[in-house]
Amino acid sequence: DTAVSQTPKYLVTQMGNDKSIKCEQNLGHDTMYWYKQDSKKFLKIMFSYNNKELIINETVPNRFSPKSPDKAHLNLHINSLELGDSAVYFCAAVSGREQYFGPGTRLTVT
């Protein structure tokens, strides 16, 4: 079984659209993160989410919003997509100091 899964794996969309990326974990961990990996392969944390408490990296535009319908899911909603949003997005489930990453979603904004 895949510990952390993401859908879709690829997402191509036009500027101005609103899209969502889903993340599911079957590890039972309380904390989940969303990361953005840009074309230079820099990994930057966007959000931390734990038991309905959300901590946002202050550099993340408010067009991005995580939504957690239950403990196993942390979805990422993006409004009014921009060209600069093109990147690979990873979610991770956290246990102690160890993170379990999903396979990533490659978002391309045209």
**Residues found near another protein in the complex (CB under 8 A):** 4, 31, 33, 41-45, 47-48, 50, 53, 55-58, 90, 92, 94, 96-104
Closest approach of Cβ 78 to another protein, in Å?
Answer: 18
Q: Which is nearer to another protein, 30 or 82 (CB)?
A: 30
CA dihedral 28, 33, 38, 41 (to 10 degrees): -60
Q: 10 or 79, CB closer to another protein? A: 10
Nearest to 29 by CA among 94, 100, 97, 90: 94
Question: Measured between alpha carbons, how far apart are the two ends of the chain, in Å?
Answer: 34
